């Protein structure tokens, strides 16, 4: 059951927003973990491994469409399946 060979490979750039071109529903059928600068992060909205950044919500601030405002943090990004 915990066979990682049947899991799809994690992309370089992934977003949890279904409207984003970087969203992949197949990936989210399995729990995905993000390690940023050596620490586990559970609040990541979007990441890019090759460019070395994550986007997280900026507190409770919302944009004019009611979505959370995001800030970009730069550093070392590691994505993995949390099995």
Asked if residue 53 is part of any domain, the answer here is yes
Residue 75 has pLDDT above 90, yes or no: yes
- Residue 64 in any domain: the answer is yes
Q: Domain for residue 1, yes or no? A: no
**Domain limits for position 74:** 13-81
Residue 5: inside a domain = no
- Cα–Cα distance between 27 and 64 in angstroms, integer? 29
Q: E strands along the chain, which residues? A: 13-15, 32-36, 39-41, 44-48, 53-62, 68-74, 77-81
In a domain, 74, yes or no: yes
Predicted local confidence at residue 55, as pLDDT: 97
Name the domain count of the chain. 1
Residues 29-74: tens digit of each pLDDT = 999 999 999 999 999 999 999 999 999 999 999 999 999 999 999 9
Residues of the chain with pLDDT > 90, as a percent, come to 88
Residue 30 lies in a domain: yes
Give the model's confidence band at 3: pLDDT under 50 very low, under 70 low, under 90 confident, else very high: low
4 — pLDDT class (breaks 50, 70, 90): low
- Domain membership of residue 3 (yes or no) is no
In a domain, 2, yes or no: no
Residues in Cβ contact with 63 at an 8 Å cutoff, skipping those fewer than 6 apart: 69
């Amino acid at each position: 059951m915990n066979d990682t060979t049947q899991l799809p490979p994690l992309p370089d750039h992934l977003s949890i927003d279904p409207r984003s071109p970087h969203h992949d529903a197949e990936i989210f059928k399995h729990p995905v973990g993000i390690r940023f600068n050596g620490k586990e992060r559970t609040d990541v909205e979007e990441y890019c491994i090759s460019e070395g950044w994550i986007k997280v919500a900026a507190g409770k601030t919302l944009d004019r469409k009611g979505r959370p405002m995001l800030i970009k943090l730069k550093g070392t990004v590691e994505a993995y399946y949390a099995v």
